[in-house]
Structure 1
Amino acid sequence: MIRRFLLTALACIAMTVSIPAFAQQAGVTAPNVVPITPQLTTSGQPTRESLASLGAAGYQGVIYLAPLTVPDAVPDEAAILRRQGISFTNIPITFNQPGEKDFEAFTDALAGLQGKKVLVHCQVNMRASSMVFLYRVIVGKENPEAAYPSVSKVWTPDGRWKNFIVATLKKHGVDFEPY
């Protein structure tokens, strides 16, 4: 009970901090929108209206990296997207427990959308920015110094997330320490 309260409080604080970053970029209205390429964008939770217009903005796939039960989730997000012909994948990463299986599932999901315009989101763009960073560096072989600013625009990973990022990079032969 206390743990759930603390996680909910953390999410609320993060959303409060992110409200000024709520913006429309790359055809997405959400907190912390970060266009990576013309085909790939990360963000926090898009509004219901934004989800309903992603098809018109050219999106063909959405990967949602939080449990469907988080307080600000759009309960019918999958249906909204599927009505537009947009592929929807949910990888419910518990915020304080990112793991290797989460990254593997994300890698498979994003690879399956190769060549399509994709939005990767969570609540605030912490999970999404971190997983996309890892994908870009490990799968895309991008320089981590060049790819990391897309994360630092949103947050500075610490604790479990920093450890997860560093361990995942090292496992794949990349020596990089997030700031």
Structure 2
Amino acid sequence: MRRRSTLWVGVGAMLGLDPARAVGLDAPNVVEIGPRLVTAGQPTRQTLAGLGGLGFQAVIYLAPSTVPDAVPEEEALLRRQGIEFVHLPVPFAAPTAAHAAAVSAALRRLQDQKVLVHCQVNMRASTMVFLHRVRALQADPAEAYEAVARVWSPSGPWRALVLEELKQQGIDFVPL
């Protein structure tokens, strides 16, 4: 299977093409961070059933399983394909530094695998992956934040979490 680059996704978006189709996912707000890391909102049941064919080896799910659009059999669909399922539910109204640390630990452990990090609409996922990238991978914050800005501008407890985590790490960056 031929992988499409982030450049292709960006050019495709400028031409009005759906970036989700570029990486083969039917899910809202798909953002390809790199060849082994993608964030998204809730994939469809069909998409989850075909992730193995797209080369995914692990899925980190950040929404509680009680959200209305959750796929109840997600874990079973993934395990049948040999895909590791990691469920780290983050309450949307109360994300914490402990949640960010757990996501980062999972991403470090899975760093050599192709991973999909998803939630409902990619707000939790994009923000937690941003924090991992700037803290653990020492990515340029402005560049890493572009993936978040494609989805939303964190506010309320999410903005507070981002600002506190950046401050704790001595990272001088204030997202808009």
Residue 28 of structure 1 aligns to a residue whose secondary structure is coil
Q: What does 1:71-110 correspond to in 2, within 5 Å?
A: 71-110=68-107
- Per-residue CA deviation, residues 85-140 of structure 1 (Å, 9 max, x unaligned), is 00000111000100011011111111111110000000000000000001110001
Which deviates more from structure 2 when the two are superposed, residues 82-91 or residues 100-109?
Answer: 100-109
Inter-CA distance 131–35: structure 2 relative to 1 (3 Å threshold): same
Q: Displacement, 1:22?
A: 8.7
- Per-residue CA deviation, residues 36-78 of structure 1 (Å, 9 max, x unaligned), is 0010000000000000000000000000001011100000100
Amino acid at match of 1:162: R
Considering only aligned residues, what root-mean-square deviation do their CA atoms show, in Å? 1.2
Residue 133 of structure 2 aligns to a residue whose secondary structure is helix
Q: Displacement, 1:24?
A: 2.5
Of Structure 1 and Structure 2, which has the larger fraction of its residues in strand? 1
Query: TM-score, structure 2 length as denominator?
Result: 0.88
Q: Distance in 2 between matches of 1:22 and 1:31?
A: 10
Amino acid at match of 1:92: P
Question: Pick from 142, 155, 163: which aligns with 1:158?
Answer: 155
Number of equivalences: 159
Amino acid at match of 2:96: G
Q: Distance in 2 between matches of 1:23 and 1:100?
A: 29
User: Which stretches of structure 1, 4 residues or more, deviate above 2 A after TM superposition?
Assistant: 21-25
Question: Pick from 104, 118, 123: which aligns with 1:121?
Answer: 118
Q: Displacement, 1:175?
A: 1.6
Q: Given the alignment of the two structures, is residue 169 of structure 1 paired with residue 166 of structure 2, yes or no?
A: yes
Residue 89 of structure 2 aligns to a residue whose secondary structure is coil
Question: Pick from 136, 141, 146: which aligns with 1:139?
Answer: 136
Amino acid at match of 2:67: V
Q: Which runs of 5+ in 2 are unaligned?
A: 1-17
For 2:66, the equivalent position in structure 1 comes to: 69
Contact 2:100 2:128 in 1 (8 A): yes
- Percentage identity across aligned positions? 54
Q: Distance in 2 between matches of 1:22 and 1:44?
A: 13
Q: Distance in 2 between matches of 1:71 and 1:154?
A: 20
Contact 1:134 1:165 in 2 (8 A): yes
Q: Given the alignment of the two structures, is residue 45 of structure 1 paired with residue 49 of structure 2, yes or no?
A: no
Q: Given the alignment of the two structures, is residue 60 of structure 1 paired with residue 40 of structure 2, yes or no?
A: no
Query: TM-score, structure 1 length as denominator?
Result: 0.86
